[in-house]
Protein backbone atom coordinates (compact mmCIF):
# COMPACT_ATOMS: atom_id res chain seq x y z
CA UNK A 1 0.00 0.00 0.00
CA UNK A 2 1.42 3.39 -0.98
CA UNK A 3 1.87 6.11 1.63
CA UNK A 4 1.78 9.16 -0.63
CA UNK A 5 -0.61 11.01 1.68
CA UNK A 6 1.82 10.49 4.58
CA UNK A 7 4.67 11.78 2.42
CA UNK A 8 2.86 15.03 1.61
CA UNK A 9 1.75 15.51 5.23
CA UNK A 10 5.35 15.01 6.35
CA UNK A 11 6.79 17.29 3.68
CA UNK A 12 4.39 20.15 4.42
CA UNK A 13 4.98 19.72 8.17
CA UNK A 14 8.72 20.05 7.57
CA UNK A 15 8.15 23.17 5.44
CA UNK A 16 5.94 24.73 8.11
CA UNK A 17 8.58 23.97 10.76
CA UNK A 18 11.30 25.65 8.67
CA UNK A 19 13.25 22.41 8.13
CA UNK A 20 13.64 22.92 4.37
CA UNK A 21 16.11 25.18 2.60
CA UNK A 22 15.21 28.01 0.21
CA UNK A 23 14.81 25.47 -2.61
CA UNK A 24 12.37 23.42 -0.55
CA UNK A 25 14.79 20.59 0.20
CA UNK A 26 15.78 19.01 3.51
CA UNK A 27 19.41 18.45 4.49
CA UNK A 28 21.16 15.37 3.14
CA UNK A 29 20.58 13.15 6.20
CA UNK A 30 16.89 14.02 6.50
CA UNK A 31 16.48 13.54 2.75
CA UNK A 32 18.04 10.07 3.01
CA UNK A 33 15.64 9.12 5.82
CA UNK A 34 12.65 10.41 3.83
CA UNK A 35 13.77 8.72 0.62
CA UNK A 36 14.11 5.41 2.42
CA UNK A 37 10.75 5.81 4.20
CA UNK A 38 8.93 6.71 0.98
CA UNK A 39 10.99 4.71 -1.51
CA UNK A 40 7.88 3.36 -3.26
CA UNK A 41 6.11 6.72 -3.35
CA UNK A 42 8.74 9.20 -4.57
CA UNK A 43 11.73 9.15 -6.88
CA UNK A 44 14.00 11.99 -7.87
CA UNK A 45 15.47 12.27 -11.36
CA UNK A 46 19.08 12.88 -10.35
CA UNK A 47 21.38 11.19 -9.39
CA UNK A 48 20.77 7.81 -11.07
CA UNK A 49 18.59 5.36 -9.13
CA UNK A 50 21.52 3.13 -8.13
CA UNK A 51 23.35 6.10 -6.60
CA UNK A 52 20.16 7.15 -4.80
CA UNK A 53 19.75 3.67 -3.31
CA UNK A 54 23.38 3.55 -2.16
CA UNK A 55 23.15 6.99 -0.57
CA UNK A 56 19.85 6.46 1.20
CA UNK A 57 20.81 3.03 2.52
CA UNK A 58 24.14 4.34 3.83
CA UNK A 59 23.07 7.78 5.12
CA UNK A 60 19.60 7.09 6.51
CA UNK A 61 20.85 5.08 9.53
CA UNK A 62 23.07 8.06 10.42
CA UNK A 63 20.12 10.41 9.94
CA UNK A 64 18.03 8.31 12.32
CA UNK A 65 20.87 8.27 14.84
CA UNK A 66 20.94 12.06 14.93
CA UNK A 67 17.18 12.17 15.42
CA UNK A 68 15.50 12.44 12.04
CA UNK A 69 12.37 10.38 11.40
CA UNK A 70 10.47 9.38 8.31
CA UNK A 71 7.11 10.76 9.45
CA UNK A 72 6.35 14.28 10.73
CA UNK A 73 2.82 15.43 11.45
CA distances 5 to 23, 25, 42, 62, Å, are: 22, 18, 11, 25
35, 56 contact by CB (below 8 A): yes
| Model confidence at 27: pLDDT above 80 | yes
| Model confidence at 52: pLDDT above 80 | yes
Distance from C-alpha of 49 to C-alpha of 68, rounded to nearest angstrom: 23
CA-nearest of 31, 68, 47, 10 to 23 is: 31
Question: What mean pLDDT comes out for the span 60-65?
Answer: 96
Band of pLDDT at residue 19, cut at 50, 70 and 90 = very high
What pTM, to 2 d.p., does this model score? 0.88
Band of pLDDT at residue 17, cut at 50, 70 and 90 = very high
pLDDT the model gives residue 66: 96
Amino acid sequence: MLKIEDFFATYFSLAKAGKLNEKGLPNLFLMAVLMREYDQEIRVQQPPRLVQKLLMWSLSPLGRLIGYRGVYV
